[in-house]
Amino acid sequence: MTGGSGQARMATRESFASRVNRFRAVNAWWIRIACYVSSIVLLLAAWQAFGNSFGVLFVPFTVTMKRLWAMLVEGELPAALWVSGQLYLVTLVFNIVVGVTVGLLLARNKLVSAAFEPYVYILYATPTISLVPFVSVMFGFAFWPRVLVSVLISIFPILLGTLEGARSIPRQHLDVAAIFGSNERQLWRDVIIPYVTPYAMTGIKQSVALSMVGTLVAEFFLNPDGVAAVMLEGTTVVDSAKVLAITVFVAAIAVVLVGVGELIEWFLVRWRHSAVG
């Protein structure tokens, strides 16, 4: 934009802008790939370049990866994962079974749900971490208290989702079932369960990711164990390679779990389409 008359400059700028836009539209696919690749390459390059400038606080990417590999091979991380994995799976099963059951029961009885719903919401809103000392005083630090904390943190979305779903069953569906003389068992089999399944599945999708949050919180705050314990060990001795390595690893697991959740949803959407169409 250095020379030329005002009008000419205007003209070139306009055509330049529209050319840029055309270029963006035509090459969208390649630009997209370039953006993804360059963002990752840039981050790793910056990590590698600045890795040595903060002393022990920050280590380069390669050092972090070597450390991660060493922890995986030496068995420190697999052992921790085994401990955390058990807690995760038990939490997930509890969330699904208890969350869906309680959600359905609350939805089927108006008075019971009116009575207890405010407290469910209050418990949901209250930062569960602050309840940890009470759980540990009453039940100790072993596996089941951990499950309790973990479930308390992660059960509410699936419970409330199921409740919401069961409550939104159209009146007509229930009326039709009543007119055709359905008993309670048939009502559940033919109306309630098919209707609520998508809502419960959405809850399960959320639960797959959320149970991990619960697992980590329970491990951090009830006498550290599993992955959280390894991280805290690294923090107390300012071993940033160890902490960074596990943080990256946990992030990778989280991304995979969210992906699993999205896969569940994808199947669900396909199933819904095939059921409708």
Partner 1 sequence: MATLSSGVEVGTDRRQRTLTRWLTRERVAPVIAGLAILAIWQVVVSTQLPSFVARPSGVILAIPETVASEEFWLDVVVTLGSILEGVAIGAAAGILVGVAMGRVRELDWFLSTYIRALYALPLIALVPIVIIWVGYSPASRLAIVIISVFLPVAVTTADGTRAISKDYIDVGRIFGARTHNMWFGIALPSAMPFIVAGIELGFARGITNAIAVEVLASVPGMGMSVFTKSNELNENGSMVYVVCLGVFAVSVRAGMIRFRHWLAPWYRGT
**Chain contacts with partner 1 (rule: CB under 8 A):** 24, 31-32, 35-36, 38-40, 43, 57-58, 110-111, 114-119, 121-122, 125-134, 137-138, 209, 212-213, 216-217, 220-221, 231-232, 234-235, 238, 240, 243-244, 246-247, 250-251, 254-255, 257-258
- Start-to-end CA span in the chain (Å): 58
Q: How far is the CB of 117 from partner 1 (least distance, A)?
A: 7
Nearer to partner 1, 9 or 24 (CB): 24
Least spacing, CB of residue 90 vs partner 1, in Å: 17
Buried b (16+ CB within 10 A) or exposed e, 170-204: eeeeeeebeeeebeeeebbeebbeebbbbbbbbbb
- Look at the alpha carbons of 170, 171, 177, 182 in this order and tell me if their dihedral is positive or negative: positive
Q: Which of 81, 44, 83 lies closest to 64, judged by CA?
A: 44
Which residue lies nearer to partner 1 by CB, 100 or 222?
222
Q: At 84, which helix (H) or strand (E)?
A: helix 76-108
Task: Select 13 or 24, whichever has its Cβ closest to partner 1.
Answer: 24
Please report how close the Cβ of residue 162 comes to partner 1 at its closest, in angstroms: 15
Q: Is the Cβ of residue 111 or residue 179 nearer to partner 1 in the bound state? A: 111
